């Protein structure tokens, strides 16, 4: 008879979360690079999320510190990767993410753009390559430019394609953003500083530094190991969902990490040896995390930290989570910043008690101090966030 597999309970997983994801006060770190290393990447579809996720995990956060890492020292890299989504990842991790996820995503982007160009306009690879070379030449000459400036200097970028043909919401849109997104996904250009404040989603574009190329299978194994170190224990489906790989590649990558099989409260999972150590004693903690925060979006199976009854309030129609309020490893509500700058919270779970309220008040004060005069409304609008802003 084979020995029973180790069991890791939901209670044990929640007990580790404050330290593992730098959310307990004594676990916070100094720099945004340390934050990104610990959680592998900061979701960047909404630019403000990068700053708010980092601020929740730093001792003395500042927007200037993150701008230094992103635009001056380039210790953090913004790239299209997991689930065809923008993330900010550590520079040292970028080649692994690029080889295991970024390059396949870029190949898909190129196929889809060429398909539409050919079907609607009769343009092929040579035409697209010529447009791309013009964009790269302009950026080499100017150093940086906005999408609008590039479209003004490269007329072919103003070519329009029909989106959703035959639908009631059919539109004709310029190919500007699709071409720039493709070049960025392939690592040939990158987003520079935004126009306006750190909450702006309008960026300048500039040429990117070359990335070393790694074997795809080796990179997948390396990323799976990093994921399990940051988010483990986790299920096969968790790894597959987070990366966007197919099931076969996911299983192969997990096997290459040497992770052990364990039992979780809701089924089988995978863990690294450190996950079997007794959970450390840790102080109670509360956190206000932004929409699409890496902790809230780190797993496909979320029952161990989220009551299913609350998903209708906290998620939008596309399955994206909005701003969340956490207490000791569990989501218990949400928050919003009102137009006057005030942070307001709403509990969805039963009142967790006086200690929790003191910790929540402290988290509100920290976030208010970080935001200062800045007003930030998430691009992910959820029912609870809308109610709090009503």
Per-residue pLDDT reduced to its tens digit, 274-309: 998 887 777 899 999 999 999 999 999 999 999 999
Domain ranges of the chain: 1-72+216-390, 94-207
The rounded mean pLDDT for the chain is 94
pLDDT value at 218 more than 50 = yes
Determine the average pLDDT of the residues in 96-103: 96
Q: What is the pLDDT of residue 2?
A: 46
* Tokens found for residue 127: 């035409």
* Cα gap 87→79, rounded to integer Å: 6
CATH of region 94-207: 1.10.10
Q: Return left, alpha or beta for 324; rule: phi > 0 is left, psi -120 to 50 is alpha, else beta.
A: beta
Q: Give the span between the Cα atoms of 281 and 54, in whole angstroms.
A: 24
Q: How do strand 330-337 and strand 324-327 relate by DSSP bridges? A: antiparallel
How confident is the model over 300-338, as pLDDT tens digits?
A: 999 999 999 999 999 999 999 999 999 999 999 999 999
Residue 24 has pLDDT above 80, yes or no: yes
* Over residues 39-64, mean pLDDT: 96
Q: What is the pTM of this model?
A: 0.94
**Span 249-264, pLDDT tens digits:** 999 999 999 999 999 9
The residues, any chain, with a CB within 8 Å of residue 195's CB and separated by 6 or more, are: 146, 202, 203, 204
Helix axes of 103-121 and 125-142: crossing angle, nearest 10 degrees: 120
């Amino acid at each position: 008879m084979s020995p029973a597999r180790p069991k890791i309970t939901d209670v044990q997983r929640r007990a580790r979360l404050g330290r593992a994801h730098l959310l307990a006060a004594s676990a916070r770190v100094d720099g945004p690079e340390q934050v990104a290393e610990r959680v592998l990447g900061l979701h960047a579809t909404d630019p403000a999320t990068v700053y708010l996720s980092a601020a929740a995990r730093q001792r003395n956060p500042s927007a200037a510190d993150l701008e230094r890492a992103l635009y001056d020292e380039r210790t953090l890299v913004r790239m299209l990767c997991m689930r065809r989504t923008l993330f900010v990842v550590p520079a040292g991790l970028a080649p692994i993410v690029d080889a295991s996820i970024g390059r396949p995503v870029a190949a898909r982007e190129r196929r889809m753009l060429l398909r539409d160009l050919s079907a609607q306009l009769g343009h092929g690879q040579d035409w697209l390559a010529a447009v791309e070379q013009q964009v790269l030449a302009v950026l080499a000459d100017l150093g940086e430019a906005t999408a609008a400036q590039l479209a003004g200097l490269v007329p072919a970028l103003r070519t329009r394609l029909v989106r959703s043909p035959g639908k009631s919401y059919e539109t004709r849109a310029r190919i500007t953003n699709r071409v720039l997104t493709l070049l960025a996904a392939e690592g040939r250009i990158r987003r520079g500083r935004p126009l306006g404040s750190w909450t702006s989603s309008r960026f300048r574009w500039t040429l990117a530094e070359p990335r070393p190329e790694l074997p795809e299978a080796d990179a997948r194994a390396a990323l799976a190991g990093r994921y399990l170190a940051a988010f483990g224990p986790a299920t096969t489906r968790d790894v597959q969902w987070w990366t966007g790989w197919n099931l076969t590649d996911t299983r192969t990558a997990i096997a290459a990490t040497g992770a052990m099989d364990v039992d979780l409260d809701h089924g089988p999972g995978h863990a690294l040896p450190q996950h079997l150590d007794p959970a450390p004693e840790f102080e109670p903690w509360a956190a206000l995390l932004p929409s699409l925060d890496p902790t809230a979006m780190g797993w496909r199976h979320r029952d161990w930290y989220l009551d299913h009854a609350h998903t209708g309030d906290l998620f939008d129609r596309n399955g994206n989570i909005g701003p969340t309020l956490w207490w000791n490893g569990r989501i218990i509500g949400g928050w919003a910043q009102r137009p006057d700058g005030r942070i307001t919270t709403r509990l969805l779970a039963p009142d967790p008690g006086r200690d929790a309220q003191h910790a929540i008040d402290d988290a509100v004060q920290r976030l208010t101090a970080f935001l200062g005069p800045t007003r930030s409304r998430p691009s992910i609008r959820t029912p609870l966030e809308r109610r709090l802003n009503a």
